[in-house]
Amino acid sequence: MDGDVLRRRPGPRRGRSARPGPSPHHVLPLRLPRALRLGRWQPAGADGPHRAHQRPWAHRAAATSINTALQVDLFGQANASRLGARIHSGFGGQTDFIVGALHSPGGQAFLALRSWHPRADVSTIVPLVDEPVTSFQATAIVTEQGTAPLFGHSERDQARALIEQAAHPRVREELWEEAAELGLA
């Protein structure tokens, strides 16, 4: 019975009505101890197949992580969750994937994004991220303009690569001015 409740798929089963019944959220607490003993369900934060933990990645040779972000600043810090007070997405396991790939022998962690956001009409490469930083120190930042290698480079070299190879041409001059104010030029 426990396994059936835990493996239940949404929607009606063959030969049964589609009338609403108790949701799994009401049923699971009653079944929790047995489910945990059987290893069929793990609470949030537990190591296991339902969580992207960096340890398994560290044992894989040349693991590659490709994530995205809303903004990246000249220090290589990324914001993948919000703009202003509006939450666009949770950053989920992004940090785990980045750290895991970087601990993997020969592994690499990439952040891929547009250099210019057309609807907002703004650059995604910014002088400083003013929202919560959700990830940092990727191997490289990839945009349609090119690839800016970051890992193992000084802050000045990172800023130079981001401006020259990843930023949209419309904002490169402005980013150089901001980089000078931040001591990166």
pLDDT at 83: 72
Structure tokens at 145: 């303009």
In order along the chain (185 residues), what is the average pLDDT of each group of 10 residues?
39 47 40 42 45 65 91 94 75 79 92 94 95 84 97 96 98 98 96
Gap between the Cα atoms of 49 and 62, Å rounded: 21
One-letter amino acid at 127 equals: P
Angle at 96 between CA 95 and CA 98, to 5 degrees: 65
pLDDT at 60: 83
pTM: 0.69
pLDDT at 28: 36
pLDDT at 52: 53
From the list 139, 140, 150, 152, the residue with the least C-alpha distance to 100 is 139
Gap between the Cα atoms of 140 and 163, Å rounded: 13
